Amino acid sequence: MGSSPPPPPEAPAKRTPWRWPHLQADPRAVLGLTLCGLAWGVALAPSRQPLEGALRLSALGFNFQPSPEETSGPAQGFLAVSLRGLTIKGLGGGEALVLPFSGQRLALGGGSGLALIASTEDPLELRIALSPGTRVQNLQLEGKDELVLDLLPPRAGSSAASSVLAAAELTIIPPVGPGVVNSQPLQAVFQEPGRQERRLRPPETQFRLSLNGATRLRLQRAQPQRPVVFERNLPVREVQFTTERQSLFDQTPITFSSLLSGTLHLGRMEPLSLRTDQFLQIDPPGIAVLTSLRSEQNQLAVEVVGETDRIRSGLSQRHPTTVLSGTLLSRHLSPDQISGFFGFLVGVISSLVLTFFKGD
């Protein structure tokens, strides 16, 4: 009995080709989405924010600058303090410091220095006034009773005839009171490396010294337990919270953070809390005024105000882990209000897409 032939193969089912749905956009939807996108972009655009904060530091550096255009003018008060002694030295790498004193011109370089020491129980009084444009390269407390101040003088215009201006003016008031040694209330000693100390005769009444080169002042405070209070509302720019030390291997400078703690407020954003040894970087224009500067418990306490659109912080200067960027919204709205604004905007965009776009 012969077998039946196999059934013919079934013809493949015809597939309907897939095509993109034709979207017919309502002009009102296009306009609404455009306006929403514009609002989103404007809200996220970088914007300068008011900045304020309180910091504790081991060292501080800044330019004393009443205004960016002002590079000359009368010196302005910076510090008034009672001292047991004052040492003036030149800083290497800057203009040589030559100090007219007691009828002589003292070259304070290469480790040479002039020491002024109160020879009575009463302290000497020191007033420091800074010229506009002076760079306070380093302001630091050392030990329990010493304050170190490194000053770099401003320069006149870039013309060939420009000259170095005075970085600071020191007003020194010798001590007055009983117990004067050899009728001399103030001792002056000129110290040179490899040579015997040379005693000079300082004025017996108030006198001034102009510092026309890079200078290091070492102030031995008469009352270490009392805080040192600087002039309030100091106009500044290019503030730095770092110090430099030389590498033990190749003597190259290494940057260290001088930050101990603090809190910064940028616009209406959440405050930024800072920890010890974090690097703090504030984009220009940055800090404009030191509203308060003082020493407390062997630390520098500083309160600042200014403007910026970005703050970065972290244990690495090159790779900050925290970045705060100011926007137009953060200048006027709190974080909760900003979240509500973007939530509302997302809702409006979703409604426009679902309501006004139809597929054929």
Per-residue model confidence (pLDDT) at position 69 = 58
Give the pTM: 0.80
Per-residue model confidence (pLDDT) at position 11 = 58
Report the amino acid identity of residue 233. N
Question: Do the domain assignments include residue 37?
Answer: no
Question: Do the domain assignments include residue 12?
Answer: no
Question: Do the domain assignments include residue 15?
Answer: no
Q: Which of 73, 168, 166, 164 is nearest to 128 (CA)?
A: 168
Per-residue model confidence (pLDDT) at position 85 = 95
CA distance 162 to 160: 5
Per-residue model confidence (pLDDT) at position 159 = 37
| The pLDDT of residue 189 is above 60 | yes
Asked whether the beta carbons of 166 and 175 are under 8 A apart, the reply is no
pLDDT higher at 283 or 16: 283
Q: 98-112, 198-212, 336-350: which range is least confident on average? A: 336-350
Per-residue model confidence (pLDDT) at position 348 = 75
Q: What is the mean pLDDT of residues 208-229?
A: 92
Per-residue model confidence (pLDDT) at position 356 = 60
Q: 97-111, 218-232, 345-359: which range is least confident on average? A: 345-359
Question: Do the domain assignments include residue 3?
Answer: no
Question: Do the domain assignments include residue 22?
Answer: no
Per-residue model confidence (pLDDT) at position 232 = 95
Residues 6 or more apart whose Cβ sits within 8 Å of residue 175: 118, 119, 120, 121, 122, 123, 124, 185, 186
What is the pLDDT confidence band of residue 18, given thresholds at 50, 70 and 90? low
Per-residue model confidence (pLDDT) at position 70 = 58
Question: Do the domain assignments include residue 135?
Answer: yes
Question: Do the domain assignments include residue 271?
Answer: yes
pLDDT higher at 247 or 201: 201
Question: Do the domain assignments include residue 153?
Answer: yes
Q: What is the mean pLDDT of residues 177-201?
A: 80
| The pLDDT of residue 145 is above 60 | yes
- Beta strands 207-211 and 234-240 are unpaired
Q: What is the DSSP string of 147-194?
A: EEEEEE--B--SSTT--BPPSEEEEEE---SS--GGG-SEEEEEE-TT
CA distance 169 to 285: 28
CA distance 209 to 169: 6
pLDDT higher at 289 or 96: 289
Find where tokens 């062997």 sit.
Answer: 298
Average pLDDT over the chain, rounded to an integer: 84
| Domains: count for the chain | 1
Query: For residue range 260-316, what is the model confidence (pLDDT) as tens digits?
Result: 999 999 988 889 999 999 999 999 999 999 999 999 888 999 999 999 999 999 999
CA distance 43 to 28: 22
pLDDT higher at 161 or 294: 294
Q: 92-101, 127-136, 286-295: which range is least confident on average? A: 92-101
Query: For residue range 114-127, what is the model confidence (pLDDT) as tens digits?
Result: 999 998 788 999 99
Per-residue model confidence (pLDDT) at position 38 = 76
Q: What is the mean pLDDT of residues 50-71?
A: 86
Task: Determine the structural domain holding residue 196 and report its residue range.
Answer: 49-326
Cα torsion 46, 52, 55, 58 to 10°: value is: 70
Per-residue model confidence (pLDDT) at position 15 = 63
Query: For residue range 316-346, what is the model confidence (pLDDT) as tens digits?
Result: 999 999 999 888 777 777 777 777 777 777 7
Q: Which of 73, 71, 63, 96 is nearest to 155 (CA)?
A: 71
Q: What angle do CA 183, 184, 190 make, to 5 degrees?
A: 150
* Radius of gyration for the alpha carbons in the chain, expressed in angstroms and rounded: 33
